[in-house]
């Protein structure tokens, strides 16, 4: 069966274990309900909507200033470009599974002529030794917290502190890919400002755990963000109106920022249920954010029909996307949002009992 039918079957279930729900127009309408029709649009980066939110996020992240961007792709390429230009070095370092390396069609090279040095291997996060042993003169090191493509893993907080200290002593700028920064704060038991203080520049996203429409914030010192605004215009991101993204980002930030601890607990509980099934392991075994990966020791061809059947029989949807690793292995990603709390515990247990039973029969 095609993966199309899995996503359809997933959407047709009564309860879905991940996410905040369908990305439909209601997400926009709910956020705009309390906004006055007379409120004026932002205008090319100025105006109340954008300036108020930039100031709010700068304060939350503990940075001097912040700039709203339509996308993280744009924000991060620009951050790296600024640091490269400042140092006169066109090399940066990041993880081999960084968003920049695998999801941006090589924009960093094709637009900015920046060469990335890939640190660590694909199975683990960047550790202090990777940075110490790097024999390259780089302008900037980018750390993604958590490392999404390996299930959302994190280095120890002490490792972050050591890497930050090394970078400062060696004139290397440190950029935080904080696409899921809010989601890891409960695990580190730190404020956003405490984490961001280790970095020179920080990007955060508003459509992962926050569940907004799209959009990103890039934060740092004023000289940095002023330059970022010029690059935003060059990239074609300085839109006459960005308020649809800003209003939704702001609304869902306020609605969900205090729920990140709950999402983490839910993820931990759910990962345990998965790990109790034969032939399933989660990565990481114990989640450090709202996300993890569910790995099957069987092929997609074997697992997909089991999931389809399970969704239909129990009304519980685990995931709409099953990704192939090779002929023998497959996995899917889980990101906990508002929906998990609405799943009755009894039905959840029934579904996992059924899943375990079917996997045992393979």
Q: Give the residue from 23, 24, 57 showing the smallest Cα distance to 220.
A: 57
Min dist. Cβ of residue 12 to a second copy (A): 14
Whole-number Cα distances in Å, 307 to 42, 101, 168, 267, 318: 46, 31, 49, 20, 8
Pick the closer one to a second copy by CB: 72 or 284. 72
205 — phi, psi (to 5°)? -115, 155
Structure tokens that stand for 61 in this block: 């992240």
Min dist. Cβ of residue 145 to a second copy (A): 20
Q: Give the residue from 348, 304, 309 showing the smallest Cα distance to 4.
A: 304
Q: Is residue 235 a contact residue for a second copy (CB under 8 A)?
A: yes
Which member of 73, 164, 289, 319 binds a second copy (CB under 8 A)?
Answer: 73
Residues 193-222 interacting with a second copy (rule: CB under 8 A): 207, 213-214
Residues 245-264 interacting with a second copy (rule: CB under 8 A): 245
Which member of 57, 75, 126, 145 binds a second copy (CB under 8 A)?
Answer: 75
Which member of 158, 240, 258, 326 binds a second copy (CB under 8 A)?
Answer: 240
Q: What angle do CA 221, 222, 227 make, to 5 degrees?
A: 105
Min dist. Cβ of residue 18 to a second copy (A): 16
Q: Is residue 5 a contact residue for a second copy (CB under 8 A)?
A: no
Which member of 13, 16, 77, 175 binds a second copy (CB under 8 A)?
Answer: 77
Min dist. Cβ of residue 85 to a second copy (A): 10
Q: Is residue 41 a contact residue for a second copy (CB under 8 A)?
A: yes
Which member of 4, 36, 46, 135 binds a second copy (CB under 8 A)?
Answer: 36
Which member of 1, 12, 14, 23 binds a second copy (CB under 8 A)?
Answer: 23
Site residue total, a second copy (CB under 8 A): 50
Min dist. Cβ of residue 97 to a second copy (A): 17
The answer to whether 214 touches 183, Cβ cutoff 8 Å, is no
Structure tokens that stand for 260 in this block: 């990140």
> What residues are paired with 334 via a beta bridge?
292
Buried b (16+ CB within 10 A) or exposed e, 158-186: ebbebbbeebeeeebbbbbbbbbbbbbbb
Which member of 27, 66, 79, 267 binds a second copy (CB under 8 A)?
Answer: 27
Q: Is residue 244 a contact residue for a second copy (CB under 8 A)?
A: yes
> Within 10 Å of residue 109's Cβ, how many Cβ atoms?
14
Q: Give the residue from 80, 60, 79, 109 showing the smallest Cα distance to 229.
A: 79
Options 26-34, 90-98, 131-139, 251-259: segment touching a second copy (CB under 8 A): 26-34
Q: Give the residue from 162, 200, 185 showing the smallest Cα distance to 82.
A: 200
Q: What angle do CA 213, 216, 220 make, to 5 degrees?
A: 160
Residues 82-121 interacting with a second copy (rule: CB under 8 A): 104-107, 110-112
Min dist. Cβ of residue 150 to a second copy (A): 22
Q: Which residues bind a second copy (CB under 8 A)?
A: 22-29, 32, 35-41, 43, 69-75, 77, 104-107, 110-112, 207, 213-214, 230-231, 233-245
């Amino acid at each position: 069966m095609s993966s199309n039918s899995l996503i359809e079957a997933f959407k047709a279930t009564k309860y879905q274990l991940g996410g905040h729900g369908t990305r439909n127009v209601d997400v926009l309408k709910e956020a705009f309900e309390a906004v006055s029709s007379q409120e004026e649009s932002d205008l090319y980066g100025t105006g109340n909507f954008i300036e108020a939110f930039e100031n709010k996020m700068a304060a939350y992240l503990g940075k001097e200033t912040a700039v709203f961007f339509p996308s993280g792709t744009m924000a991060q390429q620009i951050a790296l470009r600024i640091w490269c230009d400042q140092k006169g070095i066109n090399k940066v370092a990041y993880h081999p599974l960084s968003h920049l390396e695998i999801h941006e069609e090589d924009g960093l090279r094709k637009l900015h002529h920046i060469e990335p040095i890939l640190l660590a291997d694909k199975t683990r996060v960047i550790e202090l030794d990777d940075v110490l042993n790097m024999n390259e003169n780089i302008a900037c090191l980018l750390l993604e917290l958590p490392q999404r493509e390996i299930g959302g893993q994190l280095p120890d907080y002490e490792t972050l502190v050591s890497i930050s200290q090394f970078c400062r002593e060696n004139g290397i700028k440190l950029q935080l890919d904080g696409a899921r920064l809010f989601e890891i704060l409960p695990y580190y038991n730190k404020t956003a400002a405490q984490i961001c203080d280790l970095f020179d520049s920080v990007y955060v996203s508003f459509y992962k755990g926050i569940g907004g429409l799209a959009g990103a914030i890039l934060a740092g010192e004023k000289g940095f963000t002023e330059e970022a605004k010029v690059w935003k215009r060059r990239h074609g991101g300085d839109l006459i109106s960005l308020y649809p993204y800003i209003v939704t980002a702001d609304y869902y930030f306020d609605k969900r920022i205090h729920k990140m601890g709950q999402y983490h607990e839910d993820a931990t509980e759910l990962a345990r249920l998965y790990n109790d099934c034969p032939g399933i392991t989660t990565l990481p075994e114990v989640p450090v954010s709202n996300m993890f990966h569910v790995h099957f020791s069987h092929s997609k061809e074997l697992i997909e029909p089991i999931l389809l059947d399970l969704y239909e029989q129990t009304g519980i949807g685990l995931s709409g996307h099953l990704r192939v690793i090779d002929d023998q292995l497959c996995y899917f990603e889980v990101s906990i949002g508002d929906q998990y709390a609405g799943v009755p515990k009894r039905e959840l247990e029934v579904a996992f009992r059924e899943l375990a039973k079917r996997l045992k029969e393979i």
